[in-house]
Every structure is written in structure tokens, then in C-alpha cells.
């Protein structure tokens, strides 16, 4: 290359460098690359995010959920409370020697008390039973009880209670009386009433008289085949077969029955709607012998009831037997000695 050509090339390179320098000065300083940074670390617990970390956190919080993202499933509803569920023994009950009865209930032999779990199944209408076991006639019972009737009867026998009908034939000895109480929770408080208060006597137009209940103890009856109706040759405990616990009429198959004379008529008693709690209410049914004071009160009530009964017509019997004015059938004409009517 000649000296002239070399000079020309050097001039050209200097001019190009000058032009590049002028361009960068017109737009600002020459940028320098930022140093490499690692991934953003989340703020430590208990501190506030600042700068880019705060902006990223805000964007994450305010970012709407992606369409179609699965939502957290709702917790399943709690199972319904079984009103017939027998709660476990408390420490106090264990200390007193209370034991659970298979099939439902608890027994306190020291205080001769049997407690059975029940629920209200009828609030109004005629009744034949105050209480039936599960699977019994709950359409005509105030209470449905979870228990095994044969074990209820066994524990009452261990209380040294004498069993027998309310009105034994030929002047026999009736069964012992018991007091039956009902407890349930109402308005945050425990309400306790006599079983008689939950029953209405349509003959007297008032609640059933508080005379307690007779311990009948049920009986054994011949078993019949369900399909053929023929006897099987075996016997069954009637209270188990019929699920009958407390009858409001004279019923030898029940564990208990009313001792009132109105018990001869199964249309006398209805549920006392004003006193019975709502259907499904859990009830504790308490069975125990009466105290000396309660026995004396029963005698007074029975004496007063007898006086009142003499002053009114019987309920549920034929009118002609009660001296009513039911129309009588015309008398047949007397036959003459020859067999022809006069």
C-alpha cells in the first residue's frame, strides 16, 4: 500500500470514530451492563417486603384466580345427632358404680335407678302406650326408647321389685309401683317432669293423675310363625315380641301399666300436646321406686280420685251401662202359650 492510501484509511477511521462518539453523546451516556442478580428472596418472617419484592408480593395477592382452577372443597356437614345415643359414663357415675346396660340405658343399683335414652315420637292424638321400644307402636306412643325390654325387666327384678298386674284377680297382690320421670334440655336448662304430666285424661279433662305405674313384668307367650301364623312350640317374652314398655291401659304384656281404673279403656288417654316437647327431642327416662313421701302422696291422690269418680259417668263404656239415654231396641212381643204373638 502506498503512503497516500495509508493516510486516507487512517483519516477515514478517525472520522468514523468521531461520528460514533457524537451519536452516543446526543442520547446520553453509554449504558453499562448491570451485574448479574440471583433470584428474588422472600422477605424474612415478621418483616415487610420493599422495592421489587413488595411489588411482586402485591401482584401475587391481587392476581385473580386462574379460570377453571379447582376450589377448596367445603367441609362435609356434621352427621345428625342421634337422640337415642347413650352418652358414655361420667367420672361421677363410674365412682358411684353406675353401669351401662347392653342395648341402651344405665343402671344405678345403689340408688335403684334405671335411666333409658328416649326420644319424642308423638305429641298429640290417642295413645295406648306412653313408651315403646324401637320397632314398636311408635304411632301411638309418646316416647320411643332404645333398650332391650328383657334386660330392662331383669334390672328391675334386681331392684327387688315385686311384679304383678294392677288389678289381680281373686284378691291377689298387685305389682309394686314405680315413679317414672322424663328429663330433656330446654332453653339451656334441664327440665324434669313426671310421666303422667305428659298424658291427657279425656274423661277428667286434665293430665293423668300422679299415681305412678305398676310393675307388671310382662309375661311369656306362645310363639307363632310369621308366615303361617301357626304355633312354633316355643315361647317368647311378650315385651320383646310387641316392644311394649309402658301401657296406658291394662296390658299384661307390658313392663309397666297404669294402675288407674280408666286403664280398662284404651281410648281414655291422649298425648298432652301442651306439655310434650317437640318430636325428636332427646329425653332421659328415669325409673325408680317411690320414696315414702311419694307413696303417701299416691294414697291421697287415689282417695281423692275415687271420690271424684263416683260423681261422674264412666268414660268409654256403653251408655246403657252408664244409665244413659241411648235408644233401646223395641221389645219383642211376648209369645202366647201356643207360640203365636199376642
Question: Angle 210-215-219 (CA atoms, 0-180°, nearest 5)?
Answer: 145
Measured CA distances, 143 to 108, 125, 284, 285 (Å): 22, 13, 10, 9
More confident residue, 229 or 68: 229
The answer to whether 147 and 195 are in contact (CB under 8 A) is no
Residue 329 lies inside a defined structural domain of this protein: no
Q: What is the pLDDT of residue 339?
A: 45
Residue 19 lies inside a defined structural domain of this protein: no
Structural domain of 292 = 97-310
Checking if the pLDDT of 75 tops 70, the result is no
Residue 340 lies inside a defined structural domain of this protein: no
Q: What is the pLDDT of residue 313?
A: 61
Residue 122 lies inside a defined structural domain of this protein: yes
Checking if the pLDDT of 139 tops 60, the result is yes
Distance CA(157)–CA(278), nearest Å, equals 33
CB atoms within 10 A of CB 237: 16
Name residue 199's beta-bridge partners.
Answer: 271
Q: What is the pLDDT of residue 54?
A: 47
Residue 282 lies inside a defined structural domain of this protein: yes
Residue range 284-293, pLDDT digits in tens: 999 999 999 9
Burial (CB < 10 A; 0-12, 13-18, 19+), residue 36, is exposed
Residue range 239-251, pLDDT digits in tens: 999 999 999 999 9
DSSP state at residue 335: B
Q: What is the pLDDT of residue 301?
A: 96
Residue 157 lies inside a defined structural domain of this protein: yes
Checking if the pLDDT of 319 tops 50, the result is no
Give residue 251's Cα distance to chain centre.
27
pTM across the whole model? 0.68
Burial (CB < 10 A; 0-12, 13-18, 19+), residue 7, is exposed
Checking if the pLDDT of 328 tops 80, the result is no
In the structure grid, which three cell numbers stand for residue 158, read together?
A: 334386681
Q: How many folded domains does the chain comprise?
A: 1
In the structure grid, which three cell numbers stand for residue 342, read together?
A: 199376642
The per-residue DSSP string of 209-227 comes to PS--EEE----EEEEE-TT
Mean pLDDT of the chain: 80
In the structure grid, which three cell numbers stand for residue 215, read together?
A: 310393675
Checking if the pLDDT of 277 tops 80, the result is yes
Q: What is the pLDDT of residue 52?
A: 57
More confident residue, 189 or 322: 189
Checking if the pLDDT of 318 tops 60, the result is no
Of 107, 108, 118, 114, give the one whose Cα is nearest residue 85: 118
Residue 78 lies inside a defined structural domain of this protein: no
Checking if the pLDDT of 41 tops 70, the result is no
Residue 258 lies inside a defined structural domain of this protein: yes
Amino acid at each position: 500500500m502506498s503512503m497516500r492510501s495509508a493516510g486516507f484509511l487512517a483519516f477515514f477511521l478517525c472520522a468514523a470514530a468521531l461520528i460514533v462518539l457524537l451519536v452516543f453523546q446526543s442520547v446520553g451516556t453509554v449504558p453499562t451492563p448491570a451485574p448479574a442478580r440471583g433470584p428474588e428472596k422472600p422477605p424474612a418472617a415478621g418483616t415487610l417486603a420493599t422495592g421489587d419484592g413488595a411489588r411482586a408480593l402485591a401482584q401475587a395477592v391481587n392476581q385473580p384466580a386462574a379460570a377453571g382452577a379447582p376450589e377448596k372443597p367445603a367441609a362435609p356437614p356434621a352427621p345428625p345427632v342421634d337422640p337415642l345415643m347413650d352418652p358414655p359414663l361420667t367420672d361421677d357415675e363410674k365412682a358411684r358404680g353406675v353401669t351401662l346396660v347392653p342395648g341402651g340405658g344405665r343402671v344405678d343399683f345403689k340408688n335403684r335407678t334405671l335411666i333409658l335414652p328416649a326420644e319424642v315420637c308423638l305429641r298429640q292424638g290417642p295413645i295406648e302406650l306412653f313408651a315403646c321400644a324401637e320397632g314398636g307402636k311408635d304411632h301411638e306412643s309418646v316416647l320411643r326408647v332404645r333398650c332391650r325390654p328383657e334386660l330392662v325387666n331383669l334390672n328391675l327384678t334386681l331392684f327387688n321389685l315385686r311384679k304383678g298386674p294392677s288389678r289381680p284377680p281373686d284378691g291377689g297382690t298387685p305389682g309394686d309401683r314405680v315413679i317414672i320421670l322424663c328429663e330433656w334440655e330446654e332453653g339451656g336448662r334441664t327440665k324434669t317432669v313426671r310421666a303422667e304430666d305428659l298424658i291427657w285424661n279425656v274423661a277428667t279433662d286434665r293430665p293423668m293423675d300422679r299415681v305412678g305405674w305398676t310393675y307388671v313384668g310382662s309375661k311369656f307367650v306362645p310363639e307363632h310363625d310369621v308366615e303361617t301364623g301357626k304355633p312354633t312350640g316355643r315361647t317368647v317374652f311378650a315385651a320383646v315380641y310387641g316392644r311394649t314398655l309402658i301401657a296406658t291401659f291394662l296390658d299384661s304384656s307390658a313392663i309397666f301399666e297404669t294402675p288407674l281404673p280408666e286403664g280398662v279403656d284404651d281410648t281414655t288417654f291422649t298425648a298432652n300436646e301442651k306439655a310434650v316437647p317437640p318430636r325428636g327431642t332427646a329425653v332421659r327416662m328415669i325409673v325408680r321406686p317411690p320414696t315414702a313421701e311419694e307413696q303417701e302422696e299416691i294414697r291421697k291422690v287415689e282417695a281423692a280420685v275415687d271420690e271424684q269418680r263416683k260423681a261422674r259417668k264412666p268414660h268409654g263404656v256403653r251408655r246403657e251401662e252408664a244409665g244413659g239415654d241411648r235408644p233401646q231396641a223395641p221389645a219383642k212381643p211376648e209369645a202366647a202359650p201356643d207360640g203365636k204373638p199376642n
